[in-house]
Amino acid sequence: MAKKLIRLEDQKMLGGVCAGLADYMDMDISLVRLLFVAVCIISAFIPMILFYIIAWIVIPAGVKVIVKEEIDVKTEQADKEPNS
């Protein structure tokens, strides 16, 4: 399954853009937020704030779903037992 860039609504502080970027790049959310703030300070805020607003509008919202496969051991064992 291909990875999609989405804004994570369940881990957002403002719009979920940094959380979505962190998930897409397999990075820590706090690190992405700190990098965003550092670049904001270095670039006099305006370009990064514009980027954030545009990304907030363009990137679709979503929730990360984790699917775990579970094997029912009892059913598997019952299938292997011989019938009397």
Long-range contacts of 10-14 (CB under 8 A, 24+ apart): 10/63, 10/64, 11/64, 14/52, 14/56
- The answer to whether residues 63 and 16 touch, using CB atoms and an 8 Å cutoff, is no
Tokens of 55: 């990304």
**For the segment 24-70, what is each residue's pLDDT rounded down to a tens digit?**
999 999 999 999 999 888 888 788 889 999 999 998 888 877 776 65
**For the segment 2-33, what is each residue's pLDDT rounded down to a tens digit?**
888 888 888 888 899 999 999 999 999 999 99
DSSP assignment of 39-76 equals: HHHHTTSHHHHHHHHHHHHHSPEE----------HHHH
pTM: 0.64
Residue in 65, 56, 54, 58 with CA at minimum distance from that of residue 18:
56
Domain boundaries, the chain: 7-80
